[in-house]
Structure 1
Amino acid sequence: MMASASSDVSQFHHTPSYCEENVYLLCKKLCADGVVDASDLFVVFISNEHKHIPLWHQKASHRADGIILWDYHVICVQKRKQAKSVDLVWDLDSTLSFPSTLASYVSDGIRPSFELFSEFQRVFRIVHAPLFLRYFASDRRHMKDSEGNWMSPPPEYKPIVAQDGTVHNLNQFIEMSTKDVLEDVGEDSVNAVFTKQLGVLVGESQLEQFFSCISS
C-alpha cells in the first residue's frame, strides 16, 4: 500500500523533546497499519560534534521561518520503490507537509544551500529501521538535569528497551562528527546501512544521493 500524499499527523504519538521515541513509534505504526514495509524505512539522526544544528519549518520555533537550533533531531525517510515515485520524509515536528517529499524537505527544512559556519554543519546518521527497532534503547537519562529533575515531561509509556535487553544506547546514535562522514556514497556504503547497527554517516550534500543509490 502506498503512503497517501498527506497523512493526519494527529494519528501518531508525539511527545515534545523525545523525537527519537516518536520516530520509533511512528515506524511501528506505519508498518502495523500496512502503510509501508519496515524494510523501506530509514531512521535519520541529525546532529554534529557541537550539538548545534539548524532546521527550518519546525513547530517548536518562535520565528516566522520556523528555524530552530536543535542539539539533535530524528526523522524517518521512506524509500519508495514504485516507478516514478519519490522518497518521503516523516517529521512529526515539522510544519511542512506530512509526509514531505525528500527533495522538498531537504530544500525547505535543511536548506543545504544556506551557507553555515562550520560549527553548524549537519551530519546525518542513516539507520535501517529494522535494525533501529531491534537495537535502539533509551531510559531517558539524557532528559534529566543534574538533580534528577525532568527537563521535559517524559512519555507516559515505559522506556524503550532493546531486544537484547540493553536499556540505553541513545548516545551512540547521536554522537557524530563531520570528520566521520563517508568520503563517497557508493555501493559499499549503501550495502553497509543494511547490516550496521549504527548505520552510516553522510554529509548534508550526500543525503539525497544516498537514497537515490538504494536499488529499487
Structure 2
Amino acid sequence: MTTPNLELSSSMSLDVSQFQHTPFYCEENVYLLCKKLCENGIADAEGSDLFVVFISNEKKQIPLWNQKASNRADGVSLWDYHVICVQRKNEGDTSHVVWDLDSRLPFPSPLETYISETIRPSFQLFAEYQRFFRIVHAPMFLRSFASDRRHMKDSAGNWIAEPPAYDPIVGEDGTVHNLNEYIEIRNADVAANAGVDLKNAVLSEKLGVVISDSNLVELFPKFLDMQ
C-alpha cells in the first residue's frame, strides 16, 4: 500500500474487510485487530510493537476527521470516544502506522498522515472539544481488557447498538468489565503525567499514560522511535 509521500512495506497491505468490525464497538474491534496482526505475523507475536490508543475527554465530545460514519465531505464526526491501534515501524518501514477500521484513510496509514488528516492538531478547537490520548501497550491491553457491553444498553436494558455475535471479552484474571477505566479521561490525568518517563509508564501501567494533542505530535513519535 502506498500513500502520496510515504511507502509502507508490502507485508502490511491488507484489506480492511479482513478484520472483524462491529459499528460502535471500536474497543472490541481494536482488541481483535491486535490479535490478528500478531497471529498473521504483521506484528510481533506478543504485540510488543503495538499500542492501543483511546481518544476522549471529560465531556465525551471529540471531533475526528475522515471517519466513515460521517455524512460530511470532510468526514468529521463527534465521538464520545474512539480507539485506534498504532504500530511502531519495523526494519525496512519508513513510518509508524495507524490501524483505524473506521477511517476513510488508507489502511493502515502513516502516523504523520493520520495525525494531520484525522486529528488535525492545528485546527483551533473550543476547550470542551480538546482531545486526550490514553496510550496502552498492546500486550498489557490484550491481557487486561474486558467488556460485558453494559455501556451499550439504555436504562431499560435495550441495546443502543447491536452487539457483536461473539462472546464478550473477559480479562485473563476473570474481570468481566473495565472499559470505563480506559475511556474515563480527565484533564488531571494529563497533568499527573507531567515529567513522567513515558516509555517505562506505557510499558508497565495497565492503563498506560494520558497525553494531550501537542504531546501526541511532539512526544509520542519520539517515544516510538526509542523502542
Q: TM-score, normalised by structure 1?
A: 0.95
Query: What SS is found at the alignment partner of 2:102?
Result: coil
Query: What SS is found at the alignment partner of 1:39?
Result: coil
Pairing 1:39–2:48 present: yes
Query: What SS is found at the alignment partner of 2:84?
Result: strand
In structure 2, runs of 5+ residues without a counterpart are 1-8
In structure 1, runs of 5+ residues without a counterpart are none
After superposition, the Cα gap between the structure-2 partners of 1:77 and 1:3, relative to the gap in structure 1 and judged at 3 Å, is: farther
Pairing 1:190–2:190 present: no
Please list every run of at least 4 consecutive aligned residues from structure 1 whose deviation after the TM superposition is greater than 4 angstroms. Answer: 182-187
Q: TM-score, normalised by structure 2?
A: 0.90
CA–CA distance in structure 1, aligned partners of residues 82 and 150 of structure 2: 17
Pairing 1:210–2:220 present: yes
Q: Which residue of 1 aligns with 2:103?
A: 94
CA–CA distance in structure 1, aligned partners of residues 179 and 192 of structure 2: 25
Matched to 1:178, the amino acid is N
Contact 2:27 2:83 in 1 (8 A): yes
Question: How many residues align structurally?
Answer: 215
> In the TM superposition, what is the alpha-carbon distance from 1:83 to its structure 2 partner?
5.8
Q: Which residue of 2 aligns with 1:181?
A: 190
Match of residue 26, structure 1, among 33, 37, 51: 33
Q: Which residue of 2 aligns with 1:158?
A: 167
Larger displacement relative to structure 2 (185-194 or 133-142): 185-194
> In the TM superposition, what is the alpha-carbon distance from 1:184 to its structure 2 partner?
7.2
1:85-123 alpha-carbon deviations (Å, 9 max, x no partner):
210000000000100000000000010000000000000
Match of residue 55, structure 1, among 40, 61, 64: 64
After superposition, the Cα gap between the structure-2 partners of 1:183 and 1:158, relative to the gap in structure 1 and judged at 3 Å, is: closer
CA–CA distance in structure 2, aligned partners of residues 179 and 187 of structure 1: 14
1:57-103 alpha-carbon deviations (Å, 9 max, x no partner):
00000111000000000000001142662100000000001000000
CA–CA distance in structure 2, aligned partners of residues 127 and 10 of structure 1: 25
Give aligned-pair identity as a percent: 63
Matched to 2:64, the amino acid is L
Q: Which residue of 1 aligns with 2:16?
A: 9
> In the TM superposition, what is the alpha-carbon distance from 1:183 to its structure 2 partner?
7.3
Q: Which residue of 1 aligns with 2:134?
A: 125
